[in-house]
Amino acid sequence: MSAIERPPKFADIEGAAERLRGMAVRTPLLESEALNQRAGVRVLLKAECLQRTGTFKFRGAYNAISQVEASAVVAYSSGNHAQGVAAAAKLLNKRATIVMPADAPAIKIENTRAYGAEVRLYDRQRESREEIGAEIAARTGAALIRPYDDPRIIAGQGTAGLELAEQVRELGTAPDLALVPCGGGGLIAGCALALIEAFPGIAIYAVEPAGLDDTRRSLEAGHRQVNAPEATSICDALLVPTPGELTFAINRRLLAGSLTVSDDEVRGAIAFAFRQLKLVLEPGGAVALAAVLSRKLSWSGRTAAVVLSGANVDPVLFAAAITGCSA
């Protein structure tokens, strides 16, 4: 096993935090009385929706690319990893090519191009993004930056959890629970490493879209399960076929379980965040909030940390969610 194939450790998150100092936003920890009342627990919100590029993905991308020797990078992504890689590559003076599904939200494709990356569109049903990415890497010498199954990515995402732990301590409290959105599992794996180091007794739950609950089923089975190919959700940022190998090695060990939320519950969470929190959230970024609002657990604790992970949302979908119309 090479270093890149081993799961990261807590020290790798501390190293990532050093690399990201002054580059990533130390996103605020927010609280809302209206939310506390609705949830029945004290909820502390880590607003990664205010991160550079609109999601936590910048953290992992910057941490990985800052350790790459090649002068170019390539990545495949439904959109948020694309923007993170494009923005990080630009800051680190490397060329970036991003392989994106042709049906990704227009705003994500536009933003990726705006960061100076070259975009290669592909057909989600007929082409393999992994194959396209590997082909570009082999042909051009660009380093492949995977979206989650890379210890540098996981460690970078974990810096969100490291900050969260610091910020919760600054409030003089400790969370009993943490709820984190989960697609490939990089964010929650990194956050779990950081949070358990700070709060050994914490119960950490993944939150997934209904029908795309590969992590929930994988945790129950003890090995990785696959989603039905036709499964879909408005949570475009969380559409993955199966948990990552490295991420699941961590998540299997550290997570208490996984909760699922429906698209309607996600729309409700987007509307709540608009009305009460004054934050813009994308569907995938709102799943953990949706789980809290829908009281998916009989909370055994008193304080829950919730990660709001992204905000790159289509305006028409958002407008429909906040006005209560269907998009």
Q: Residue 132 CB, nearest distance to a copy of itself (Å)?
A: 29
Torsion sign (Cα): 12, 13, 18, 23? positive
| Distance separating alpha carbons of residues 46 and 265, to the nearest angstrom | 20
Interacting residue with a copy of itself among 7, 54, 101, 105 (CB under 8 A) = 54
Q: Restricting to residues 61-120, name those near a copy of itself by CB under 8 A.
A: 107
Vertex 323, ends 317 and 327: CA angle to 5°? 30
> How many alpha carbons lie under 13 Å from residue 305 in its C-beta half-sphere?
35
Interacting residue with a copy of itself among 2, 93, 323, 326 (CB under 8 A) = 323
| Distance separating alpha carbons of residues 246 and 151, to the nearest angstrom | 7
Single-letter amino acid, residue 72: A
Vertex 305, ends 304 and 310: CA angle to 5°? 135
Torsion sign (Cα): 41, 46, 49, 55? negative
Nearer to a copy of itself, 192 or 307 (CB): 307
Backbone angles phi, psi at 318, to 5 degrees: -65, -45
Q: Centre a 10 Å sphere on the Cβ of residue 116 and count the other Cβ atoms it contains.
A: 12
Query: Which one-letter DSSP state was computed for residue 211?
Result: T
Interacting residue with a copy of itself among 33, 200, 201, 300 (CB under 8 A) = 33
318 is a site residue for a copy of itself (CB under 8 A) = yes
Nearer to a copy of itself, 256 or 317 (CB): 317
Tokens for 147?
């979206």
Nearer to a copy of itself, 279 or 307 (CB): 279
What stretches of 23-119 show up as alpha helix (H) in DSSP? 33-39, 57-65, 80-91, 106-114
Q: Residue 303 CB, nearest distance to a copy of itself (Å)?
A: 17
Interacting residue with a copy of itself among 10, 38, 50, 119 (CB under 8 A) = 50
Q: Residue 151 CB, nearest distance to a copy of itself (Å)?
A: 28
Q: Residue 27 CB, nearest distance to a copy of itself (Å)?
A: 8
Write down the residue that tokens 């490493």 correspond to: 193
| Distance separating alpha carbons of residues 292 and 185, to the nearest angstrom | 19
Q: Which listed range, 98-106, 193-201, 246-254, 318-326, lies at the site for a copy of itself (CB under 8 A)? A: 318-326
Q: Residue 5 CB, nearest distance to a copy of itself (Å)?
A: 34
298 is a site residue for a copy of itself (CB under 8 A) = no
Q: Which listed range, 8-16, 29-37, 143-151, 235-243, lies at the site for a copy of itself (CB under 8 A)? A: 29-37
Nearer to a copy of itself, 19 or 108 (CB): 108
Interacting residue with a copy of itself among 3, 69, 126, 278 (CB under 8 A) = 278
Interacting residue with a copy of itself among 13, 44, 49, 307 (CB under 8 A) = 49
Q: Site residues (CB under 8 A) for a copy of itself?
A: 25, 28, 30-31, 33, 49-50, 52, 54, 107, 271, 274-275, 277-280, 311, 315-316, 318-320, 322-324
